[in-house]
C-alpha cells in the first residue's frame, strides 16, 4: 500500500479558488469547526483559515492546522473529489491538552465523514 502524503499541490494556493469555495461551497459545522466544500475541478484540495481572533497563540493555531491536515491526509480517497476549506468558528476546548487534541481530531474525522457523505449524495 503506498504511503499517504500531503503534498503542496493538495493545498488551495489560489486565492480565487479559496474565495469561490467560501462563497459557493456547502457548509458543514460541528463544535468549533466549519467546513465549506464544493466538487473539485481537478484533484481535491484543502484550505485552512484559522483566525488569530479565536486562538491568540501561533503554536495553538499551527496545532489545529496540523491536526486537520493529518486527518485529511489519512482520510479516504473519496476526499479527492472535493475542494474543502476549514474555518474555526470559535476556540476549541482546551487545545493545549492531549485530551483536547484527541477531541479535536475526532471532530475533524466526523466532519470529514459527513463531508464525503454529502458530496456523494449531491
Q: Can you tell me the distance from the alpha carbon of 119 to that of 15, in angstroms, rounded to the nearest whole number? A: 23
* Beta carbons of 84 and 36 less than 8 angstroms apart: yes
| Single pTM value for the model | 0.89
pLDDT band at 7 (very low <50, low <70, confident <90, very high): confident
- On the question of pLDDT at 20 being above 70, the answer is yes
Q: Which residues are registered as beta bridge partners of 27?
A: 36
Distances (CA, A) of 119 to 36, 79, 83: 11, 9, 10
pLDDT tens column, 41-71: 888 899 999 999 999 999 999 999 999 999 9
For the segment 83-99, the average pLDDT, to the nearest whole number, is: 91
* Beta carbons of 83 and 12 less than 8 angstroms apart: yes
The fold for domain 8-121 equals Ribosomal Protein S5; domain 2 (3.30.230)
Amino acid at each position: 500500500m503506498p504511503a499517504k502524503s500531503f503534498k503542496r499541490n493538495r493545498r488551495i494556493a489560489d486565492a480565487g479558488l479559496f474565495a469561490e469555495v467560501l462563497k459557493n461551497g456547502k457548509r458543514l459545522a460541528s463544535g468549533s469547526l466549519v467546513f465549506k466544500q464544493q466538487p473539485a475541478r481537478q484533484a481535491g484540495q484543502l484550505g485552512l483559515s484559522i483566525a488569530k481572533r479565536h486562538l491568540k497563540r501561533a503554536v495553538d493555531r499551527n496545532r489545529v492546522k496540523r491536526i486537520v491536515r493529518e486527518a485529511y491526509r489519512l482520510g479516504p480517497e473519496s476526499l479527492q473529489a472535493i475542494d474543502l476549506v476549514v474555518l474555526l468558528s470559535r476556540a476549541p476546548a482546551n487545545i493545549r491538552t492531549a485530551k483536547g487534541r484527541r477531541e479535536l481530531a475526532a471532530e475533524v474525522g466526523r466532519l470529514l465523514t459527513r463531508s464525503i457523505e454529502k458530496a456523494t449524495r449531491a
